[in-house]
């Protein structure tokens, strides 16, 4: 019986060796995949950090765009106010020019027009020379 058992064990030895080799290969694959998983985890961490940086930059761009929009609104308001003041100044200049023109018109000497008055020899001796 010992010989039969020895024969049976010797027949199982190659099969056990193949199983050990398969398990060893499987362990190497698992270890390799674990290394790859660690690398993927590191890459994911880097990607997450990069996405945060992009998100921060987009937020900053949004804030800058809002400030730009506010500034442009103020520029348009200032330009509108300057336009209003320019128009008011133009109206004032026109009114001033009209007033000056009227003032000069009022100061022009009126041409002498003979007036019929009753002559009084005691007051005006030269009345007959008209």
Give the position of tokens 């698992």: 30
- Work out the pLDDT band at 58, boundaries 50, 70, 90: very high
User: What pLDDT, on a 0 to 100 scale, did the predictor assign at position 122?
Assistant: 56
User: What pLDDT, on a 0 to 100 scale, did the predictor assign at position 27?
Assistant: 85
Contact 127, 119 (CB under 8 A): yes
- Percentage of the chain lying above the pLDDT 90 cut: 41
- Work out the pLDDT band at 113, boundaries 50, 70, 90: low
Model pTM score: 0.45
């Amino acid at each position: 019986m010992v010989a039969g058992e020895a024969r049976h064990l010797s027949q199982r030895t190659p099969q056990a060796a193949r199983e050990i080799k398969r398990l060893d290969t499987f362990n190497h694959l698992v270890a390799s995949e674990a290394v790859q998983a660690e690398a993927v985890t590191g890459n994911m961490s880097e990607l997450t950090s990069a996405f945060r940086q992009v998100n921060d930059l987009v937020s900053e761009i949004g804030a800058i765009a809002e400030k730009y929009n506010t500034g442009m609104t103020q520029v348009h308001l200032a330009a509108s106010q300057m336009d209003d003041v320019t128009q008011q100044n133009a109206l004032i200049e026109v009114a001033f020019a009209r007033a000056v023109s009227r003032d000069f018109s009022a100061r022009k000497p009126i041409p002498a027009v003979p007036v019929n008055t009753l002559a009084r020899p005691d007051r005006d001796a030269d009345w007959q020379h008209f």
